């Protein structure tokens, strides 16, 4: 999905999308289209010039070097929690620090992991691999052959882009498999069918990709044959978002599925049976899961089935055998109440861990099937935290991981067994900033249509309500992504310790209160998310926490669109804007990279009715000469092959040609996360915080 960082330039979850295509056909009314030529000589010369100007100002500031060094020390600290994933008897971790900027993929045992300083065994050194191959490899994950776990597919990106090369790896030998599976650089979707076959969706040539740049076809590739000989097994349409085939392997159960993503939020699901894929009778906007003998379903809208209406946001379960026989009497494992939402679930051997939000605070339930076909649901013991997430360690035990934190409490990692008493504390992040003088609280603003919009505020306990406090307001408001009160060590060190106030807004368009909260700000209703953000800003001024002179806003990706839109709508309300890897040109977004896949969120600019509402807030089209705007810092990455860097480039060019104050910085690596390693990330964060401190104090 199009996802934003929840703190200044945190890494963003990658999405399989296409490699940078050529820019779409020019529009005669856009004089800056040449900036969409990502690697164009003229465009890159412009980037270098703007970078030099911005770095010349910000890196020369007294605040910059101390902030950069402190942020890098946090990012590289050996005291960070090494989060792990269990594969067989080993626990794997990917680790980056000063000595290993691109990272080590390593493993240990549970007995070692319990120690303060575990003994780690290096499985793959990305820095050494990059040097040997002359590449700037960035880790993009592993895909394991189950249940054997003696082979995996490793994805590597050049410079942090979403496009990857895929190579077969032997974790026992700690080496790539000679003559093993290899896929060239592309936005590939791949799944093991068995040891000698892969389901592959990639760029097979003309007609193999959707308009959004995802794989349209899935082909079965047999070991030892050329990729061109792979057999077509499933295909979607060009107008779809994507199509793919995947497998699920659980103890005692193996299934094959195909899915056709007709829009960003709707999917046709197919089950492999009797040598073909049969379409399942499910709501198009429901999310499908499977756990042993059970089908699991998450609803985005109400669904009438089995003689009753099941609520939007519910988590449902039904044995596969009954479902395939026509039964629709689903068990309701979770049904949201007012201002409640499902945040996710995870399955152990005998239980399902259900993460929920109640007024944006975490609640965790444990569901267990009974012999009579019913389910028991109880709170997870030992999980009484303001913000916590539980996840299964594996599907062959009832062990689980529990991470708990909040704005001021560093993350703690626990390991427990369901029914086994209080979880065991294994790791706790040290305090990277002084939290004792601080407090956080939850408030509500009233939006333009009367809707109550919650927000969190982090500030000094002795904060004076005099309207003079430098305040950073962050928002996202899209794609049903929730903003929760998790710990932000870099923000605490670089902003809170400097006397700043941090505010996190829970806007419509997000998922904090379930699907309806998201759907309230779709397409023609997008303005509601912007009204919500403006309402929070106005509430901060009303409460005299800050004033427009001291109020800054920040957002990335869809959040970059948010801050761009409210800047042009209410330039009087803000002093500074940090706009990262943003969408800004809503006339052409659907023609750039993965933009077509987001039309279910924003609308289709080629449809006059949709363009009518997009035109009202598209930042690039609403900048006006003669208006006094807050100063804006735009950042992006040349290697962002998800949200086209042309958005940020063109916005900066338009602001500058009209004489508005703007800074622009483009990292040559980094993908949609903006940075490829900790040093780049610390620099990007320090640029943003330096800008904010200088503008808002």
SS (H, E, C) 217-244: EEEEEECCCCHHHCEEEEECCCCCCEEE
Distance of CA 610 to the CA centre of its chain: 26
Assigned token pair, 197:
């076959």
Distances (CA, A) of 473 to 6, 503, 561, 651, 669: 11, 5, 15, 21, 27
Residue 614 and residue 521: Cα distance in Å, rounded? 13
676: its two tokens: 């490829």
Q: Which two tokens stand for residue 259?
A: 């899915």
User: Which stretch of DSSP H or E encloses residue 321?
Assistant: helix 320-324
Strands (E), 565-630: 576-580
* DSSP output for 299-310: -SS-EEETTEEE
Q: How many angstroms from the chain centroid is the CA of residue 405?
A: 19
Sheet arrangement for strand 85-87? 85-87, 90-97, 100-108, 121-125
Other Cβ atoms less than 10 A from the Cβ of 244: the count is: 23
Handedness of CA 507, 510, 511, 516 (dihedral sign): positive
Instruction: State yes or no: is 590 an active-site residue.
Output: no
- DSSP lists the bridge partners of residue 508 as 510
Catalytic residue among 557, 597, 618, 637: 557
Question: Catalytic residue among 269, 647, 660, 672, which?
Answer: 672
Phi, psi angles (nearest 5°) of residue 447:
-75, 175
Residue 435 is encoded by which pair of tokens?
């939290």
Query: In 3-state terms, the chain is what percent helix, strand and coil (to 5)?
Result: 25, 35, 40
Angstrom distance (rounded) from CA 253 to CA 276 = 18
Neighbours of 56 (CB within 10 A): 9
Q: 173 exposed, middle or buried (CB, 10 Å; 0-12, 13-18, 19+)?
A: exposed
Catalytic residue check, 557? yes
Active site residues: 557, 672
């Amino acid at each position: 999905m199009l996802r934003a960082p929840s703190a200044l330039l945190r890494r963003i979850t990658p999405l399989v999308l296409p490699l940078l295509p050529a820019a779409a056909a020019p529009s005669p009314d856009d004089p800056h289209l040449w900036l969409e030529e990502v690697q164009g000589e003229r465009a890159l010369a412009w980037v270098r010039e703007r970078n030099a100007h911005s770095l010349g100002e910000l890196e020369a500031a007294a605040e910059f070097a101390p902030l950069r060094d402190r942020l890098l020390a946090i990012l590289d600290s050996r005291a960070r929690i090494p989060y792990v994933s269990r594969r067989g008897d080993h626990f794997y971790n990917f680790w980056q620090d000063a000595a290993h900027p691109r990272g080590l993929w390593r493993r240990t045992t549970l007995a070692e992991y319990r120690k303060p300083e575990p003994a780690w065994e290096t499985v793959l050194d990305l820095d050494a691999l990059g040097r040997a191959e002359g590449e700037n490899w960035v880790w993009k994950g592993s895909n394991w052959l189950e249940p054997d776990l003696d082979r995996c597919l490793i994805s590597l990106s050049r410079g942090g882009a979403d496009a990857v090369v895929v190579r077969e790896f032997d974790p026992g030998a700690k080496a790539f498999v000679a003559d093993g599976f290899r896929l060239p650089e592309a936005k590939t979707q791949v799944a093991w069918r068995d040891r000698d076959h892969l389901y592959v969706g990639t760029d097979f040539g003309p007609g193999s990709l959707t308009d959004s740049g995802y794989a349209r076809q899935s082909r079965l590739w047999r070991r030892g044959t050329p990729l061109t000989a792979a057999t077509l097994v499933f295909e979607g349409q060009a107008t779809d978002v994507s199509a793919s085939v995947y497998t699920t392997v659980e103890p005692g159960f193996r299934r094959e599925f195909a899915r056709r993503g007709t829009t960003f939020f709707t999917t046709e699901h197919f089950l492999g049976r009797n040598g073909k894929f049969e379409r399942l009778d499910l709501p198009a906007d429901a999310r499908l899961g499977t756990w042993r003998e059970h089908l699991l379903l998450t609803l985005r809208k109400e669904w009438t089935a089995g003689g009753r209406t099941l609520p939007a946001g519910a988590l449902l379960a039904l044995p596969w055998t009954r479902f395939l026989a026509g039964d629709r009497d689903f068990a309701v494992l979770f049904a949201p109440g007012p201002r409640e939402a499902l945040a996710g679930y995870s399955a152990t051997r005998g239980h399902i861990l259900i993460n929920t939000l109640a007024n944006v605070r975490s609640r965790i339930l444990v569901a267990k099937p009974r012999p009579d076909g019913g389910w028991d649901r109880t709170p997870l013991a030992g999980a009484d935290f303001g913000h916590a997430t539980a996840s299964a360690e594996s599907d062959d035990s009832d062990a689980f991981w529990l991470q708990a934190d909040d704005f001021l409490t560093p993350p703690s990692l626990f390991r427990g067994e369901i029914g086994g008493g209080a979880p065991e504390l294994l790791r706790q992040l040290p305090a990277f900033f002084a939290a004792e003088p601080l407090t956080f609280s939850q408030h509500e603003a009233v939006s333009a249509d009367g809707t109550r919009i919650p927000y969190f505020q982090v500030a000094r306990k002795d904060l004076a309500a005099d309207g003079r406090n430098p305040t950073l307001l962050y928002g996202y408001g899209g794609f049903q992504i929730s903003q929760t009160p998790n710990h932000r060590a870099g923000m605490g060190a670089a902003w809170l310790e400097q006397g700043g106030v941090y505010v996190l807004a829970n806007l419509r368009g997000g998922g904090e209160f379930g699907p309806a909260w998201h759907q309230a700000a779709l397409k023609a209703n997008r303005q509601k998310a912007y009204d919500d953000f403006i309402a929070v800003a106005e509430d901060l001024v009303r409460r005299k926490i800050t004033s427009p002179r001291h109020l800054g806003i920040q957002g990335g990706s869809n959040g970059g669109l948010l801050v761009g839109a409210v800047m042009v709508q209410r330039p009087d309300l803000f002093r500074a804007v940090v706009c990262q890897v943003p969408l800004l040109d809503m006339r052409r977004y659907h023609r750039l990279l993965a933009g077509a896949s987001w039309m279910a969120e924003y609308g289709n600019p080629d449809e006059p009715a949709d363009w009518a509402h997009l035109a009202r807030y598209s930042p690039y089209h609403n900048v006006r000469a003669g208006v006094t705007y807050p100063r804006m810092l735009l950042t992006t990455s040349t290697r962002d092959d998800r949200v086209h860097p042309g958005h940020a480039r063109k916005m900066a060019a338009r602001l500058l040609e009209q004489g508005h104050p703007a800074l622009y910085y483009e990292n040559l690596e980094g993908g949609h996360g903006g940075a490829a390693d900790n040093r780049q990330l610390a620099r990007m964060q320090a640029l943003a915080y330096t800008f904010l401190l200088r503008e808002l104090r």
